[in-house]
Structure 1
Amino acid sequence: MSILSSTTKFYDKWNVRGFVLFSLFLQTILILFAPFRKRTRCGFVIFSIWIAYLVADWAANFAVGLISNSQKDIRQNRALPNYDHNAAEHAADHADILAFWAPFLLLHLGGPDTITAFALEDNALWLRHLVGLISQVSAAFLVFNQSFPRNRLWMPTVLLFAAGIIKYVERTCALFLANLDKFRKSKLKKADPGPNYAKIMEEYASKKEAKLPARIELIREPNKESKIARYAAVDEGPLDDVKVVRHAYHFFNIFNGLIVDLIFSFHERDESRMFFNKRTPDDAFKVIAVELNFIYELLYTKVLVVHSKPGYFVRFVSWCVVVASLSIFYTIEKRGFGKVDVGITYSLLFGAIALDTIALLMLAFSDWTVASIPQNSPICLEAINRCFLSLLRHYLKLKRINWWKKKPSCWDRARQVLLRRWSESLNQYNLIHYCLKERPKKKRGPFDRSCRILIDLFEKCGFLKDFYDNFYYVSSKPFEEKLWEFIFFQIKKKSDLADEPETAKSIRSARGGWVLQNTEWTIIESSSRKLMHYIVDVDFDQSLILWHIATDLCYHTKDNQSDTTDNQSDEDTSNRREFCKILSDYMLYLLIMQPTMMSAVAGIGEIRFRDTCAEAKEFFDRKELPKGPKEEIKKVACEMILEVNTDVEPVAVKGDRSKSVMFDACILAKELRNLETKKRWGLMSEMWVELLSYAASHCRANTHAAQLSKGGQLITFVWLLMAHFGIGEQFQINEGQARAKLIVDK
């Protein structure tokens, strides 16, 4: 009982102090570490930020309630008849400092600049935050009012009230502006009724009645094409960091409507196509990365509110108000205030100033500040380029590492996280590897049985099984420049053919058939028909799983004897072989582990995957697989699959009850192995880029936007690259191409 009473006494004494400092600690965590969620897909980092984001508001709200209750207790004690006068004075001073702490919690509820929303859905709750603003300001004002008529800290408290209200209003406005419904409305252009048809026809009819030779012509808008050409011709050489940011901001202002499914004019398409056709893959990647960073900050931070003239002014005023509060508190006589309370108050004041200073520095050295400097200010641009971007890149220069050749040091990893704009990695998920690990073991020890029981329990709780699979079976590979160059040139080659909207639409809708029909890899007609069957005659999810398994079977088994050693040693063929493997595992990861990204095209992909895994486990259970490294086991397993007689199609033997495609993929792999090595991997690599492009263009735009706060995905880069090359259905408006004019011939 004594332990419980002492614990209660300790809590009653330190609860307000503890929660106020805890709230400050959470704000520090959020402002420093929230930007890392766009740079990593590490589950621990994202989960930690999510917990801090949720607990931060709760801690601040709870602390305000504790302060209010503490002041209520002080008033009740004052009313007691035998209450000590000295104790009353001390309690009054304590009430004053508690009232001074309340506006700090308003500052904390306003949140840091680096995170206003954890997910897109949080932006839709802006109205709830508006109600919270009113209620919390009222609660804080009530706490402040209870300290009157005697309050020695009323002046710094009033100043902090102003700063806290500013912060909370900033957050509410940021959520409102980033709400997708509001954003969509803000992006809609002024209604265009077009030429006055009725007036022109009246004039035309009157001219005809007067028997004058009248006609109506559409006159092209002058200089439109020349403006597009001039912009595309700007900075034709390599782009430095400032130019990358400037061009990214230009296209961000045009294409940010993609996230709310708006359509664009053909002039905007032509401008983007002409610019990106003149860029190297590396420069194009940098521009797209910065453009996606702009979109991320638009949706998840206070950037729209802060990066404006009113925002700059209000932020400066807020910082000055906090400094003024610190100065006034420093000059006030501290007699009567507890030393601990004074120390906590200084911590809150210096903490608020430090957080605002960090926010100001982030504001000054952000991409938005670089982009907002006028192009005709070369001195400013050069200063930023040399003093910030180039200097930072010089001392923290990040070179892409061949991770399989050189293990990166801790400093390399730190530089990578600090400088990159997305995770720069591709998650990998492999069906055969999963089935080999999950297959039943004939000889089970106590540990194996315990693991099996645990996995069975996870399967009954679906989210736990997903977490387990993601942790245990999903690996990660660094994103290589060679892979991006290959994807870039494949999409660029198709964009050269996409001059007409119909052609662009057919390219966008292709999921492998375009490669087979228009490929440079000449194959015999019978093989082409057989391969086409696994593309056009099956659903997308079925095609993806088929080609994934076939890629694995070809990758892990020896080539046919007819292949030449020259082809096998060819560097381009070797690269394409690796591209196939990486994209194959990445696409299966999206289909199974990121179903929301593939929901528009996934069909019954999860059912096919589960049935295929069940058949694979059953097959491996009947075979004797050797012990050894996992790659060797996988190689033997693939050879065993290819040894199965597939003269009769599986559907003729099993029927169509099971959706497994295990041995259909085996037939496809055998057909692919009949091709020469160079043709096989050349064809398959282009096939995988087309499958990736199809999935990217059919993924919902808000899903792409949601992934930006989780480390980003390669499929999102491909989606935006396709839009910039004019491949898709977003371009449907002939804006300003022509205007009608009535002409009377003489």
Structure 2
Amino acid sequence: MGNTKILAEAKNLWMKLNLRGAILTSLSLQVFLIFFAPMRKRWSNRWFTILMWSAYLVADSVAVYAFGLIAKVQIVGGGTSDSEVDAYGDLLAFWAPFLLLHLGGPDTITAFALEDNELWRRHLLNLLFQLGTACYVFYQYLPSNKLTVPTVLVFIGGTIKYIERTRALYLASFSKFRGSLLPSVGFDRDSHAPIEMMQEPNIESRDAGEQNKTDLDDREVIITAFFHFTTFKGILVELPLHLSQMNESFEFFGRMITAKDAFRVIEAELNFFYDVLYTKAAVVQSPTGYLFRAISIGSVVTAFALFYVLNKHGFHEYDVRITYTLLLGAVGLEFVALGRLICSDWTIALLGRFKKHRIGSTFEKFLLKFKSERSPFALHILHARWSRSIFQYNLIDSSLRRSPRRPPTRIEKLLGLIPLGALFDDLKPGRVEPYSDKLRELIFDELKRKQLVARNFESKMEICAARGEWALEHSETEQDCTNLLPFVCDVDYDESLLLWHVATELCYNTDPDETRNDRVNSKVLSDYMLHLMIKRPDMMSAVGGYGEIRFRYTCDEMDEFISKNPSDGSKTKISKERACQSLLSGFSKVEPRLQEGKIIRSVLAKACALARVLQNIEKEKRWKITSEVWVELLGYAAIHCRPYNYAQQLSKGGELVTLVWLLMAQLGFYRHLRVAVSPETDRLLENT
């Protein structure tokens, strides 16, 4: 009997400790998520992504597990004496609604990936089930519960938070998101209002204003980004746009705006997209959302005050501390969420409508100073939008790292039986480079130059389909590039990308001039595009073709060539410069066949031929042409990737190609454009 009693007491003690630990763990995960979830859109680190994914999944599981423990304690007892049973039960009933708060999640993350939004029905079912569980726990301790009023208040706050999350998931599901935009697409068939046609670009006025470009302040960036977000959010679900809908965008990006400001606007606009898809912004940023958020905060704060003044006689001291921790955590999370809500871009965009009111203008100025990069509080870091760096991958570098090859050891052979190598390779941090102001200027100037040339719908679609040939035929250098056209016109896109990557690397390492901006920009874009093709094939799925297969064949030939050509008197390593010179001389007698039908093979020979053609061009013109081609290759990939993939990427740090895609769409380079000749014709087209 004695042993049985000891085991029962030990079991009850373990249950109590387990319950307390689960509740505190649930609170800790909420604190982690509210502060660190926003960082995932500006930090593309695999380890951090795994950590966020784990916290996102475990947070719900721990809260549900704690609910189960509370219900189990009610059945088997909590290991307390008869005089403490009622007090402990009252606390259990009070703790249950806090788990609803936790299941509602922080405002900074509702979905980890787009697929989570499609599971809103599951969350709705969980909401109903957990509400029922909380009500059952509360009912068990009525009517003698000393914490009835605080429990009801926290229950109200928790229910609101959970409903907010479920509704945010519902609104962000692609079917609902697309459906909500359909009424605003096109024009009312019964309306006889004239359609504003796209006007011809005023080249003279733009050129005259180029010398008077002014920087946009933070307020103008946010308000402009919000306007374009409301106009262009249909492109995220591939809805068609009229040319007339782009008039404002043409005017804004075509007037006196710098490349830096253009990218700032695009970054802010993508931030609105991110908030709608992955946070509670779509629910909270509305009059109804503000009302319910006020109720939620008021309920939690009032519950804290009531518990503070309550006579706590009969409660265990440790349980009281846990309750205070839960209350302080709930109040703290609510006020952190409120602070983020007030300081968000959404609030500044809303205040922009009331700029004539002095109070709104003063508050807006305070927020902008608070978020500014020059803020003395240094809190702008919390509101940073996107990473300002891009990943790099270089074919020759990877081959040199693998050289010289040696036979694998027995341990390596054993480890090779377990497919962990690829996993650890993916988790290694990749090489990154900042996308500098010069790179942004190159991209923006090239796209703007194309916009000025594309005066009608057909020319815009022609430029959308160009993958290097337009840049060669319309180079600003006025160089005859006829001998370069076969390297973009007679090969697939993925093969062309590999050709220009290797050729760029060969020219880069045999050209000692390190001060030329076009040379540096070409190198950065070259390595970035190869990173997309090899490490992010989902971003290149529409244009990738056999790129990965060609890449492997090319790597094998590169490895074989390097192993047969040691240099610099070293038997272990070959320098990169010497490797490039050896490649150019080693393949000098090889005549590459540009037309190979469906044969897939290494591109080294053709890349060396391309490099030799480029080297025959004057240096300044060579790197200008190369940079123009790389911008067009980047733009082609950006236009032809599905917007769904860009939406997925927003939660993983964003990509330069995403910024370019949105910028090109707002310059009119969008594959789903519609041309309205007249209101009558447009209505006829819609009826058919």
> What is the match of residue 134 of structure 1?
128
| Change in CA separation of 1:99 and 1:684 when aligned onto 2, cut-off 3 Å | same
CA distance in 2, matches of 1:236, 1:379: 29
Q: Within the alignment, does 1:112 sit opposite 2:106 as a pair?
A: yes
Q: How does 1:470-509 map to 2 (within 5 A)?
A: 471=428, 474-509=430-465
| Change in CA separation of 1:220 and 1:308 when aligned onto 2, cut-off 3 Å | closer
CA distance in 2, matches of 1:89, 1:735: 84
CA distance in 2, matches of 1:105, 1:636: 63
CA distance in 2, matches of 1:718, 1:237: 22
> What is the match of residue 422 of structure 2?
465
Q: How does 1:189-268 map to 2 (within 5 A)?
A: 189=183, 194=189, 221=194, 237-268=214-245
| Change in CA separation of 1:283 and 1:632 when aligned onto 2, cut-off 3 Å | farther
> What is the match of residue 604 of structure 2?
662
CA distance in 1, matches of 2:225, 2:267: 8
CA deviations on 1:367-425 (whole Å, 9 max, x unpaired) are 1011112154352453234312125426447xxxxxxxxxxxxx9xx878545310100
| Change in CA separation of 1:469 and 1:711 when aligned onto 2, cut-off 3 Å | closer
Q: Matched residue of 1:596: which SS?
A: helix
| Change in CA separation of 1:628 and 1:285 when aligned onto 2, cut-off 3 Å | farther
CA distance in 2, matches of 1:6, 1:430: 64
Q: Within the alignment, does 1:420 sit opposite 2:420 as a pair?
A: no
CA deviations on 1:297-343 (whole Å, 9 max, x unpaired) are 01000001101111101000111111121122223221111000011
> What is the match of residue 38 of structure 1?
41
With 13-22 and 262-271 compared, the bigger mean Cα shift is at 262-271
Are the counterparts in 2 of residues 74 and 95 from structure 1 also a CA contact under 8 Å? no
Q: How does 1:70-109 map to 2 (within 5 A)?
A: 70-74=73-77, 87-109=81-103
Q: Matched residue of 1:578: which SS?
A: helix
Are the counterparts in 1 of residues 229 and 269 from structure 2 also a CA contact under 8 Å? yes
* Rg larger for: 1
Q: How does 1:53-68 map to 2 (within 5 A)?
A: 53-68=56-71
Structure 2, gaps ≥5 residues long: 684-688
Q: How does 1:290-439 map to 2 (within 5 A)?
A: 290-373=268-351, 374-377=353-356, 379-380=358-359, 382-393=361-372, 395-396=374-375, 417-439=381-403
CA distance in 2, matches of 1:371, 1:529: 50
> What is the match of residue 503 of structure 2?
550
What's the offset of the Cα at 1:649? Answer: 3.0
TM normalised by structure 2 equals: 0.90
Count how many residue pairs are aligned between Structure 1 and Structure 2. Answer: 669
| Change in CA separation of 1:176 and 1:392 when aligned onto 2, cut-off 3 Å | closer
What's the offset of the Cα at 1:522? Answer: 3.7
CA deviations on 1:579-628 (whole Å, 9 max, x unpaired) are 01000000000000001000000001111111111111111121214488
| Change in CA separation of 1:736 and 1:91 when aligned onto 2, cut-off 3 Å | farther
What's the offset of the Cα at 1:99? Answer: 1.2
What's the offset of the Cα at 1:631? Answer: 11
| Change in CA separation of 1:272 and 1:454 when aligned onto 2, cut-off 3 Å | farther
| Change in CA separation of 1:593 and 1:628 when aligned onto 2, cut-off 3 Å | farther
Are the counterparts in 1 of residues 491 and 595 from structure 2 also a CA contact under 8 Å? no
| Change in CA separation of 1:340 and 1:626 when aligned onto 2, cut-off 3 Å | farther
CA deviations on 1:91-118 (whole Å, 9 max, x unpaired) are 2211111111000000100001010001
CA deviations on 1:3-39 (whole Å, 9 max, x unpaired) are 9999867532301111101101100111111111112
CA distance in 1, matches of 2:127, 2:592: 63
What's the offset of the Cα at 1:671? Answer: 1.5
> What is the match of residue 28 of structure 2?
25
Q: Matched residue of 2:183: which SS?
A: coil
CA distance in 1, matches of 2:242, 2:594: 51
What's the offset of the Cα at 1:639? Answer: 1.1
What is the aligned counterpart of 1:716 among 655, 658, 662? 658
> What is the match of residue 615 of structure 1?
557
Q: Matched residue of 1:441: which SS?
A: coil
What's the offset of the Cα at 1:74? Answer: 1.9
Q: Matched residue of 1:341: which SS?
A: helix
CA distance in 2, matches of 1:264, 1:587: 28
CA distance in 2, matches of 1:428, 1:223: 44
CA distance in 1, matches of 2:287, 2:595: 72
CA distance in 2, matches of 1:475, 1:167: 40
Q: Matched residue of 2:542: which SS?
A: coil
Q: Within the alignment, does 1:671 sit opposite 2:628 as a pair?
A: no
Are the counterparts in 2 of residues 220 and 739 from structure 1 also a CA contact under 8 Å? no
Q: Root-mean-square deviation (CA), in Å?
A: 3.3
Structure 1, gaps ≥5 residues long: 78-85, 197-218, 398-410, 560-567, 742-746
> What is the match of residue 203 of structure 1?
none
Q: Matched residue of 1:189: which SS?
A: helix
Q: Within the alignment, does 1:729 sit opposite 2:671 as a pair?
A: yes
What is the aligned counterpart of 1:11 among 14, 18, 24? 14
CA distance in 1, matches of 2:650, 2:171: 18
Are the counterparts in 2 of residues 428 and 475 from structure 1 also a CA contact under 8 Å? yes
CA distance in 1, matches of 2:180, 2:151: 38
> What is the match of residue 167 of structure 1?
161
| Change in CA separation of 1:641 and 1:119 when aligned onto 2, cut-off 3 Å | same
What's the offset of the Cα at 1:740? Answer: 11
Are the counterparts in 2 of residues 40 and 711 from structure 1 also a CA contact under 8 Å? yes
| Change in CA separation of 1:715 and 1:451 when aligned onto 2, cut-off 3 Å | farther
CA distance in 1, matches of 2:342, 2:227: 19
**Aligned partner letter, 2:503:** A
**Aligned partner letter, 1:424:** R
CA distance in 2, matches of 1:355, 1:64: 21
> What is the match of residue 686 of structure 2?
none
Q: Matched residue of 2:539: which SS?
A: coil
**Aligned partner letter, 2:34:** I
Q: How does 1:631-650 map to 2 (within 5 A)?
A: 633-650=575-592
CA distance in 2, matches of 1:222, 1:37: 42
What's the offset of the Cα at 1:455? Answer: 7.5
What's the offset of the Cα at 1:656? Answer: 7.5
What's the offset of the Cα at 1:684? Answer: 0.4
Q: Matched residue of 2:476: which SS?
A: coil
CA distance in 1, matches of 2:435, 2:343: 27
- What is the aligned-residue identity percentage? 42
TM normalised by structure 1 equals: 0.83
CA distance in 2, matches of 1:654, 1:733: 39
**Aligned partner letter, 2:489:** V
What is the aligned counterpart of 2:176 among 157, 165, 182? 182
> What is the match of residue 204 of structure 1?
none
Q: Matched residue of 2:81: which SS?
A: helix
> What is the match of residue 284 of structure 1?
262
What's the offset of the Cα at 1:633? Answer: 1.2
| Change in CA separation of 1:434 and 1:380 when aligned onto 2, cut-off 3 Å | farther
Are the counterparts in 2 of residues 195 and 739 from structure 1 also a CA contact under 8 Å? no
CA distance in 2, matches of 1:514, 1:629: 45
CA deviations on 1:460-483 (whole Å, 9 max, x unpaired) are 45xx415415616x3001121111
What's the offset of the Cα at 1:644? Answer: 1.1
Are the counterparts in 2 of residues 16 and 63 from structure 1 also a CA contact under 8 Å? yes
